[in-house]
Amino acid sequence: KQRLAAALLIQNQESAASVIQYHWRSYRRSKIAAALKLKEAATDILCQNKHAAALVIQRHWRLYRCMQVCRTHVTKVVTIQRWLRRLKEEKASQERRVNAATLIQSSWRGYTVRHLPLSRRASGMVLLEDPKQKRLTLLRKKLVDATARAEEEDSIGNKTKCAIYCLSKYKDLRMILKAVIALDGSTRWSSLCCSRVVAGGTLRHLMELIESSNRSLPYMQILTYILNVFLNLVKCELSFPAVAEVPQVVDVLANLMLIFYEKHQLVFSKCCSILYLLTSRQELAQVTVSEAIKKDVSHIHSVLVRKVNARSRGRRVRRATIVSLQHCPSLLPIYALNNTRPYEFEEPVPAVMTLLNHWGVSFKET
């Protein structure tokens, strides 16, 4: 037993010594590895710093060399710049001279054609035998003859006055039709006539005619011209506030859209144009559209889209989209200069889509 105990003691001592040696070796290895890592990190940092310093030195050296080269070529660069500027100025001056000469030549040719007789014109000028010049001369002659034959009663101001009187006094459809045709022409071409129509209380008579109209042919013609008159008045800044202040004008136009969106698309498009213009000039007068009207117009849009889809089923047809701003009805009258936008909406489906989009009402395009 004593021998066995001594052997176990020796064995335990040997195993304890092995464990201690193992842990000591592990500790030494970890210490050595940590020291090596620190040394490598310090070496890497030192190399990075040296590399960055080398890059800075190289950059400054290249910049210094470039500055030295530029200083040696400053005179050449300045000479080239001066030459380019002079060339650009000469080109611009030549273009100005050519444009001025062209303007002088065109003005002189026009003056000779209008004022000088044929015998006194130079051989290089445009002669009256030119077809274009013949048409221009004939047009001037017609204008002169029309001006000579014109009388005071033929002016659009007198026609406007007579039309206002006829609307207030007569109930005959022929007289009313002649009156609205005259008002359409006068308000289309004169802002003073628009002001006279608004000041004469004609809007009330026009609204009464709209409310009393039906689908017969004479009334449809009268209604079309009345909508043209409203469209002209809305485009004129002098008469727009008065049209916007007409009681229930938006409701009446929306009612016309509900009535004629199936049978008479021209009236429907004109109503869309007037409503679009009425709600586009909020700086002149505030025009509000109720939610009920928006709902009715949205319903009209859905019905029209369903009909278009039914007609185009099985065929490749271009779908209607919202009209861009360049193709929306112009806010300016027809006699305004540089007016490239259309006068009114032409197609009903794009018109109602654009109107709903302008009002901020969501809808499905297909």
Mean pLDDT, 10 residues at a time, over the chain (366 residues)? 78 86 88 87 88 92 87 83 92 91 88 61 47 71 80 78 83 86 87 83 84 83 88 86 84 84 82 85 74 84 80 63 73 74 81 81 68
| Signed CA dihedral, 43, 45, 46, 48: sign only | positive
356 lies in the same domain as 256: yes
The answer to whether residue 58 sits within a structural domain is: no
Q: Is residue 52 part of a domain?
A: no
Choosing from 247, 278, 299, the residue where a domain stops is 247
288 and 214 within one domain: no
State pTM to two decimals.
0.59
The range of the structural domain enclosing residue 208 comes to: 153-247
Residues making up the chain, counted from first to last = 366
Do residues 176 and 240 both lie within one domain?
A: yes
Together in a domain, 242 and 282: no
**Contact partners, residue 53, CB within 8 Å, separation at least 6:** none
The two tokens of residue 6 are 């001594």
User: Are 257 and 359 in the same domain?
Assistant: yes
> Do residues 191 and 219 share a domain?
yes
Question: How much is the pLDDT for 138?
Answer: 80
| Residue at which a domain ends, from 213, 247, 281 | 247
Are residues 352 and 266 both part of a single domain?
yes
Report the distance separating Cα 275 and Cα 284, nearest Å: 15
Residue-wise pLDDT tens digits, 305-341: 888 777 766 566 566 667 677 777 777 887 776 667 8
pLDDT (0 to 100) of residue 11 = 83
Nearest CA to 243 out of 251, 235, 233 is that of 233
Residues 207 and 286 in one domain: no
In a domain, 105, yes or no: no
Task: Indicate whether 262 and 242 sit together in one domain.
Answer: no
Structural domain includes residue 209: yes
DSSP collapsed to 3 states, the chain: CHHHHHHHHHHHHHHHHHHHHHHHHHHHHHHHHHHHHHHHHHHHHHHHHHHHHHHHHHHHHHHHHHHHHHHHCHHHHHHHHHHHHHHHHHHHHHHHHHHHHHHHHHHHHHHHHHHCCHHHCCCCCCCCCCHHHHHHHHHHHHHHHHHHHCCHHHCHHHHHHHHHHHHHHCCCHHHHHHHHHHHHHHHHHCHHHHHHHHHCCHHHHHHHHHHHCCCCHHHHHHHHHHHHHHHHHHHCCCCHHHHHCCCCHHHHHHHHHHHHCCCCHHHHHHHHHHHHHHCCCCCCCCCCCCHHHHHHHHHHHHHHHHHHHHHCCCCCCCCCCCCCHHHCCCCCCCCCCCCCCCCCCCCHHHHHHHHHHHHCCCCCCC
Q: Cα 150–152–153 angle (5° rounding)?
A: 100
Can you give the C-alpha Rg of the chain in angstroms?
A: 44
Cα distance between residue 246 and residue 138, in whole Å:
46
Q: Which of 223, 247, 271 is the last residue of a domain?
A: 247
Question: Do 287 and 177 share a structural domain?
Answer: no
* CA gap 275, 278 in Å, rounded: 5
Residue 88, in any domain of the structure: no
Residue 74 lies in a domain: no
Q: Is residue 169 part of a domain?
A: yes
Pick the closest to residue 355 from 230, 243, 285, 268 (CA basis): 268
Q: In 10 A of CB 58, how many CB atoms?
A: 10
Q: What is the pLDDT of residue 194?
A: 85
Q: Are 341 and 328 in contact (CB under 8 A)?
A: yes
What pLDDT is stored for residue 130 in this prediction? Answer: 53
Amino acid letter, residue 289: V
Count up the domains in the chain and report the number: 2
Confidence (pLDDT) at 100: 92
**What digits encode the pLDDT tens for the residues 196-243?**
888 877 888 888 888 888 878 888 888 889 888 888 888 888 888 888
| pLDDT value, residue 318 | 61
Greatest Cα-to-Cα distance within the chain, rounded to the nearest angstrom: 158
Whether the CB-CB separation of 353 and 321 falls below 8 Å is answered with yes
Same domain, 278 and 240: no
Cα separation, 274 vs 254, in Å, equals 10
**181 is a domain residue:** yes
| 203 and 267 belong to one structural domain | no
Whether residue 333 contacts residue 277, with contact meaning beta carbons closer than 8 Å, is answered with no
